[in-house]
Structure 1
Amino acid sequence: MDFAQLNAWYSQSQRRTAVSLLMKRVGVTRTRAECFVRLWIYLLVKQLQESQPRIKPPLAKLELLETEVQCTHREAAELFYCDSERGSDRAAGMMLDKLEALGLIKKHFDGNTTAIEIQPIPEILDPAKPQKPVQLQLDNFNPRCDAITVANLLATNYNWMNRNTNAVTYKIAKILRLLASQYSKGMRVLRRCDNLNPVGFYLLYPTATSSEVNFFSVPSKSLHLSSISDIDPFNMALPGDQNCQSVFVRSWMIEPQYLSEYRIDFLEDAQKVLVEMQTDFPNLCDLYTLMIHPGYEKQALALGFHKTNSDRQLSIYWMYLPLDRFLALNIKEALLKL
């Protein structure tokens, strides 16, 4: 079977798909996968032609052989190397040995000829159906149900910063529940519709006037979730506080696989929540965030945030944006280039 016949029976795009699936197996290189797929096509056609002499290409799909089929090393060499420099019979025999060692085929030699049996390959015989995309919904943070899941989500930010896997998830969960008991309006989640688990979270923290000086100090001194100290450097303003002017975006993140699709919705939701917060804090005018994970830097800059105070010890820094400008922003237009 030459290369043209191979393409006629099973197209190059079909073979490419099968090769990609096979390469997920340990030890299966692209060359080995391609040789195996060619061998499967050849043996299947050879068997079908014995029972159906008038059969014509193409094959609808790859199927298991009914019985083992004879195949010499010469046949295998012509098949494996039909589109490249001629490989030897010995090289083809070594490839068959490798395919057998990988569990893709079984071969039997009776002293004269080699018979080959294709082993069941579930990923090709019964390919998984594409999963329906997970739908997400915006919702309020539920301290009873969401604290642990969100704490694990947030811990990834601090694990990256500290270069370890020991972020105190327990502490984060306790803090989230405490903050929710004080003022939960600024705590929102992006929740899976199927299992209700949060995959995104933000925390808009109305900051008491006494704590605003932190926005102009060394950023590392304002870390709380990842710090050893149990003392929060920030105090929360209570609804009705006429002196509260600042909102601290203490958290804003979405699991990477959902970020591109739901980023705009989550930011637009934050705009709506900030408008609602203005009824509780009528003099809000400043928006601050602490840039911890570099993955969100481009987003912050696109929204209009600019860097203020940096830290000499850690690669974190304060960013600022006037609240009115954020509320007037067309999020979709602002993020077009992301």
Structure 2
Amino acid sequence: MSGLPAFRPEALEQWLPRTLQNHYVDLLLRRIGMTRRRADCFVRLALYLFLKNCQSRKELPKPPLTELSFPQGWVECSCLEAADVFYSDRDRGGDRAAGMMLNKLVDLGLIQKQFDGNCTQVKFHAMPDLLKSDAKNLHISFAIDAFDPRSDAIPIANLLANNYNWLNRNNDAVTYRIANILRDWASQYTAGLRVLRRSDNQNPVGFYAFYPTKRESEVKFFEPPSRGLHLSQVADVDPFQMALAGDETCRSLFVRSWVIDSDYRQAAQMELLLDAQQTMKKMQQDFPNLWDMYTLIIHPSYAELSLALGFQKTNADPKMPLYWMYQAVDRFLKLDMQNLMRDAQSLN
């Protein structure tokens, strides 16, 4: 950390006591895909770059700080600096490992990273709001029920469109298209469309779509994933045909959507997972030979959740950052969700 001798990693605790750092680590551990090591690296990185940013503006605060603060805008941070922050207390870990950790924090939606041709720069997402939202939403309760095509289509389409923005920058009428597609699905088979709502105002804050797939469409799960896109692409023809209730040849369930507003993800994820198991059991009554589950990983922040639920990667796309994942329906239904999520958060 050339030029910042006061900010040696061993001095960071003088600026933010370890007890306070651990408080923020514990908050972050409630996020899917977060481990204690990743959370600790994130907190130390935020603290270091906040101080670096303050020093560059000649507005350095007096220690100790009473809360974790975040730098504004882009701040330079080389992999060598990050390594010093992440691994100063360990024998292992160099600039390559630090670069991989930065990439993981990007995948988790915590930071952005760019290289301007000379140096790496890091920008933090709105983490102060996210961290404080835990207290703000502590007393909010949720309800999960069926998708209502009359009132839910537009707000849920907005949620899904935001989820696809990182992949497809062409936003021409995307929300309108998605809303109409959801309504079409509901007119065919609505049992697999479930909505997470705030109990106080009934506003949708989450959604999943379990799509029973006709036998003729199953081959699509073994083709390049980009050929399976529909909601995020401007295409007239859906590559997958929906099976209708009573179809005994239907063996495959496609998890076509799974999204929760980031402000509520930690508070409501477990409720939605438990509801998903109950929904799948009901769908088995309509499709007695439902054996296979597939999902298409579009946003990287959901990859960790899929892996924790036992999904296995099958085939990746040669041209886009997409891949199929598979899980057996019987195994999914046997998962102990509460223990599984608790164990996933404690992994190193």
Q: TM-score, normalised by structure 1?
A: 0.61
Letter paired with 2:189: Y
Residue 261 of structure 1 corresponds to which residue in structure 2?
267
Distance 1:32 1:318, change over 3 A: closer
Give the distance between the partners of 1:279 and 1:187, measured in 2 at CA. Answer: 16
In the alignment, is the contact (CA less than 8 A) between 1:155 and 1:167 conserved in 2? Answer: no
Residue 304, structure 1, aligned to residue 319, structure 2: no
1:132-155 Cα offsets, whole Å, 9 max, x none, are 733221111111000000000001
Residue 138 of structure 1 corresponds to which residue in structure 2?
144
1:33-89 Cα offsets, whole Å, 9 max, x none, are 98xxxxxxxxxxxxxxxxxxxxxxxxxxxxxxxxxxxxxxxxxxxxxxxxxxxxxxx
Give the distance between the partners of 2:58 and 2:136, measured in 1 at CA. Answer: 23
Give the distance between the partners of 2:326 and 2:291, measured in 1 at CA. Answer: 11
Residue 329, structure 1, aligned to residue 335, structure 2: yes
Residue 147 of structure 1 corresponds to which residue in structure 2?
153
Residue 71 of structure 2 corresponds to which residue in structure 1?
none
1:107-155 Cα offsets, whole Å, 9 max, x none, are xxxxxxxxxxxxxxxxxxxxxx967733221111111000000000001
How far the C-alpha of 1:163 sits from its partner, in A, is 4.2
Give the distance between the partners of 1:223 and 1:207, measured in 2 at CA. Answer: 14
1:275-298 Cα offsets, whole Å, 9 max, x none, are 000010000000000000000111
Letter paired with 1:227: Q
In the alignment, is the contact (CA less than 8 A) between 2:218 and 2:252 conserved in 1? Answer: yes
Match of residue 215, structure 1, among 211, 217, 221: 221
Fraction of identical pairs, as percent: 53
Distance 1:30 1:151, change over 3 A: farther
Equivalences for residues 25-174 of structure 1 within 5 A: 133-163=139-169, 165-166=171-172, 168-174=174-180
Query: Structure 1: 5+ residue runs without aligned partners?
Result: 1-26, 35-128
Give the distance between the partners of 2:166 and 2:297, measured in 1 at CA. Answer: 13
How far the C-alpha of 1:203 sits from its partner, in A, is 0.2
1:305-330 Cα offsets, whole Å, 9 max, x none, are 01001001110110000000000000
Residue 288 of structure 1 corresponds to which residue in structure 2?
294
In the alignment, is the contact (CA less than 8 A) between 2:137 and 2:264 conserved in 1? Answer: no
Equivalences for residues 6-17 of structure 1 within 5 A: none
Q: Which portions of structure 1, spanning 4 or more consecutive aligned residues, are displaced by more than 3 angstroms?
A: 29-34, 129-133, 163-167
Give the distance between the partners of 2:59 and 2:321, measured in 1 at CA. Answer: 44
Give the distance between the partners of 2:176 and 2:147, measured in 1 at CA. Answer: 17
Query: Structure 2: 5+ residue runs without aligned partners?
Result: 1-53, 63-134
Give the distance between the partners of 2:141 and 2:201, measured in 1 at CA. Answer: 10
Residue 279 of structure 1 corresponds to which residue in structure 2?
285
Residue 246 of structure 2 corresponds to which residue in structure 1?
240
Does the residue aligned with 2:263 lie in a helix, a strand or coil? helix
Give the distance between the partners of 1:147 and 1:305, measured in 2 at CA. Answer: 28
How far the C-alpha of 1:247 sits from its partner, in A, is 0.3
Residue 97 of structure 2 corresponds to which residue in structure 1?
none
Distance 1:167 1:333, change over 3 A: farther
Letter paired with 2:334: A
Residue 192 of structure 1 corresponds to which residue in structure 2?
198
CA RMSD of superposed structures (Å): 2.7
Give the distance between the partners of 1:132 and 1:262, measured in 2 at CA. Answer: 11
Give the distance between the partners of 2:298 and 2:289, measured in 1 at CA. Answer: 27
1:185-232 Cα offsets, whole Å, 9 max, x none, are 000011012221110000000000000000000100110111121100
Residue 205, structure 1, aligned to residue 211, structure 2: yes
Match of residue 251, structure 1, among 229, 233, 257: 257
Letter paired with 1:135: S
Distance 1:131 1:172, change over 3 A: closer
Give the distance between the partners of 2:238 and 2:170, measured in 1 at CA. Answer: 22
Letter paired with 2:153: A
In the alignment, is the contact (CA less than 8 A) between 1:159 and 1:167 conserved in 2? Answer: no
Residue 57 of structure 1 corresponds to which residue in structure 2?
none
Does the residue aligned with 2:319 lie in a helix, a strand or coil? coil
Give the distance between the partners of 1:130 and 1:209, measured in 2 at CA. Answer: 46
Higher relative contact order, chain-length normalized (CA < 8 Å, sep 6+): 2
Letter paired with 2:247: D
Give the distance between the partners of 1:214 and 1:131, measured in 2 at CA. Answer: 40
How many residues end up aligned between the 2 structures?
A: 223
Give the distance between the partners of 1:229 and 1:130, measured in 2 at CA. Answer: 40
Q: Which of 132-141 and 198-207 deviates more?
A: 132-141
Does the residue aligned with 1:145 lie in a helix, a strand or coil? coil
Give the distance between the partners of 1:133 and 1:141, measured in 2 at CA. Answer: 24
Letter paired with 1:261: A
